[in-house]
Amino acid sequence: MNKYAKISIGIMIGFPLFFLMVSLLTGKWGFFFWSLAPSFLSGMTGLFAAKNASRNINQQ
C-alpha cells in the first residue's frame, strides 16, 4: 500500500471521527451524519486514484 492509499484511508476514518467528537460535545448529530458521505467519497476517490497510479507504474 503506497502513501496515497494510506492518506485516503486516513481521510475516510479520521474526518468522521473528528465530527463524531464534535457531535458528542454539541449534541447535534447532523455534524456527524453530514460528514459521512463527503469523507467516504473523497477517500474512495483518492484510493482509486492511488490504485490506478500504482497499476500504471507497475505496467511501465
pLDDT digits (tens, 9 = 90+) for 8-44: 888 899 999 999 999 999 999 998 999 999 999 998 9
* Domain definitions of the chain by residue range: 3-55
CB 32, CB 15: distance < 8 Å: no
Average pLDDT over residues 45-52: 88
The whole-number pLDDT of residue 57 equals 76
Residue 59 has a CB neighbour count (10 Å cut-off) of 6
pLDDT confidence bin for 60, thresholds 50/70/90: low
Grid cell at residue 47: 484510493
DSSP E strands in 1-60: the ranges are none
